[in-house]
A and B are shown apart, each in its own frame.
Chain A
Amino acid sequence: MFKEMSLKSVAAAALALLPVTAVAESPTVQQIKERGTLLCSGHNGSYFGFVEVNDKNEWKGLDIDLCRALTTAILGDPNANQIVPLSWAQRFPALQSGDVDLIIKATGWTMGRDTELGLQFSLPYFFGGTQFMAHGDLGITEAKDLDGGTICVEAGTTIERIAANYLSTLGVEHTMVSYESAAELRAAYVANRCDAFAGWGPNLAVLRATEIDNPDAHVILNDQLSSEPISAAMRQGDEEFVDVVNWMLAAMLIAEEEGVTMANVEDMAANPPNPKVARLLGSEPGMGERLGLRDTWAREMIAAVGNFGEVYDRNLGANSPYKLDRGLNNLWSHGGVLYAPILD
């Protein structure tokens, strides 16, 4: 399928008599343009802060905003996407079958997924680790106290494997119950079906902050089981699409670094303070052609969703109900581990 398509796109490029240096357009991007919509991964229910459904039945969250950013970069319209609801377990089959163009769904970069599942990953855009949250009345602080307990987890995730591995290393006797939907899992934990909830740190913090009546009734255990790089996942065999996604993420980070925000992007584009910003915002040509996009894609994207810091604050940080600290997920210059490749 892909071979055929990339041949077609090469032929199209040759017909258009583009300069030899021009990048062959990604078949996925071409498909998205033909379709006029980008198919993004959603969730079966809400995964708070990342993918959630608000009162007006609209999708929002960090992952959704990244999807909107990518949609703007490719199609120039933040709303030209379809969010396909998927369970954790269905996300890879859905990607393989073409039901979605890519997965932006708190997905960790693992070797198995990279090789056996035939995926390829973008730059990590988020770092979070697996942790346990337990009911406070159990009076425990460490995972080894969970002996004999029941642990709930999301089925088909890396967390499922990491938690199982960790507990078996510790020799903790336990029962694991895994659910296909986050809502079912949340309900089970809240109803005390399980003593502890193995989850992704940020998600646990969000849950504790909002979903549960009394935050003090729950403790996040000290054990840090892993720290996972979270990336967008794509089908193998379309390197150009990976480039587009990587530079979409990079542009959001660079924008934050350079202080380009949703509010000032037009001014910055009109009077770029330095050549880097000028290039980023398409005030001088080159940025678009290299990726097979418009020169102004990054400007439109920032205008539509903001830079990475704004997206974080809106969905998880200070401007959200969850008020999560940025911690590791800050720019390197602010004590975090996020940094962009060099824009030259």
Chain B
Amino acid sequence: MSKADELRQRAKRRKIAIQAGLIALSALVILGAFTTARTNLEAQGLTSGFGFLERSTGWDYSFSLVPKTIMDPYSQTLFVGFLNTLFVGFIAIFLTTLFGFIIGTARDASNIAIKTAATVYVQIFRNIPLILQLVFLYAVLINLPGPRQAMSMADTIFLSNRGLMLPGLSVTPGVAVALLLASIALGVVLISRKIPLIHGVLGWVGGSILMCIVAAIAMRPEGATLVTIPELKGLRFRGGITIPIELVGMIVAITLYGSAYIAEVVRGGLAQVPKGLTEAGQALGLSKGAIWSRIKMPMALRSIIPPLGNQWIFMMKATTIGVAIGFSDLFYIVSISITQSGQTLELIAILAGAFLLVNGGLAVFTNWLNARMKLKAH
């Protein structure tokens, strides 16, 4: 055997030894954690396992998309928390993306006034911790007038310290969820077809509104009016849709913060589009809007989407701060469940599993989107 071979052999052996050591160490840590947990739990007389999921909780919480009672088992309560997290997360993702693109474009504007306004916005909201913005905003919101002195707009939209009351379609919650899903599906279909950006967005908004109108006419309960308008009765508003003030706070705070971040991502993307392309557009006599939607944005999207996906995942994770203002997101529900049931390990595992699932899904979606955009640019 030559010397080089011998050296290579030795290196190979060393590599195998290092890896075996790492695996053994990991296994040892996991095993050790497992046995320690068991002894610790036994010493305190705690039961482990997922049996508690079937027991009813006996406590109430603020927000749920589906009907809830205090007789619900832990499994269902946790599911409600999961839905709430998804709900806030997706609304926040939608709004931050929308405002992020608007503000990001404004940051790139030639008009100095618009550019200054966008810059001020970004520098204020990006540089203060989200949780501080949330509790700050929440303190302002709960000091709004009470329901009896609610601020109103044309007596159809009300804002009080209980929440935002909007007129709503007379549909059951099930139909509402179905509409939401249909709207998301429409969006995905539009992205997967090669439709120009502006047409796609318009088609999506128009289609969604159309679906809502059709559903409201076809699916409304017997004898109900097409639209219900909030009205003050007794201690609170009835009719219409009430968005609890905690939810308003969550959505506004995450949107203000997140859109400042996405604006920077968008600005970065726009800045990477070669100047020559814009000038070529100008030379062809294209309008500013056409240059933006036909040339700059499609080019910029390629470098915008990967960091945008990271921002989406951040937004989903940011919903966990709901616990600071009493919004019943998954983290909040898990945190209360731990105190009320004592099943710390199981509940943390459920929490981690849920986030791995959602964020994994978002990452897959971003990759798919990225692949589509790449194809389009060819």
Contacts and interface: CB of A to CB of B under 8 A. Distances in A.
Question: Does a CB–CB distance below 8 Å link A and B in the complex?
Answer: yes
Interface of A: 1-3, 88-93, 96, 112, 115-118, 138, 146-150, 155-156, 160-161, 163-165, 168, 175-180, 184, 187-188, 191-193, 195, 235-237
Contact of B326 (A147, A164, A178, A192): A178
B341 interface: yes
Nearest to A6: B43
Contact of A161 (B69, B142, B340): B340
Main secondary structure of the interface of A (DSSP, over half): mixed
A160 B60 contact: yes
Contacts of A96: 40, 44, 46, 342, 344
B339 interface: yes
A235 B162 CA distance: 41
Contacts of B41: 118
A19 to B, nearest CB: 28
Given A93-B338, A116-B47, A193-B161, A150 B236 contact: yes
B234 A147 contact: yes
Nearest to B238: A148
Contacts of A168: 69-70
A215 B332 CA distance: 33
Contacts of A175: 62, 236, 244
A147 B339 contact: no
A190 B127 CA distance: 31
A93 B41 CA distance: 12
A188 B39 CA distance: 42
22 contacts: A1-B40, A2-B43, A89-B339, A90-B339, A93-B338, A118-B41, A118-B46, A148-B236, A150-B162, A155-B326, A155-B336, A156-B340, A160-B336, A161-B59, A163-B60, A176-B61, A178-B61, A187-B139, A191-B161, A193-B245, A195-B235, A237-B44
Contact of A178 (B39, B142, B236, B336): B336
Interface in B154-194: 161-162
A278 B344 CA distance: 47
Given A96-B342, A117-B342, 10 more contacts: A3-B43, A92-B339, A112-B340, A148-B233, A160-B336, A164-B58, A176-B62, A177-B246, A178-B336, A191-B139
A112 B324 CA distance: 26
Contacts, number: 125
A92 B336 CA distance: 11
B326 A184 contact: yes
Contact of B336 (A2, A89, A191): A89
Given A92-B339, A178-B336, A165 B326 contact: no
B146 to A, nearest CB: 5
Contacts of B246: 177
A149 B332 CA distance: 22
A117 B61 CA distance: 21
Contact of A180 (B161, B238, B244, B323): B323
Contacts of A178: 59-62, 326, 336
A149 B235 contact: yes
B312 to A, nearest CB: 27
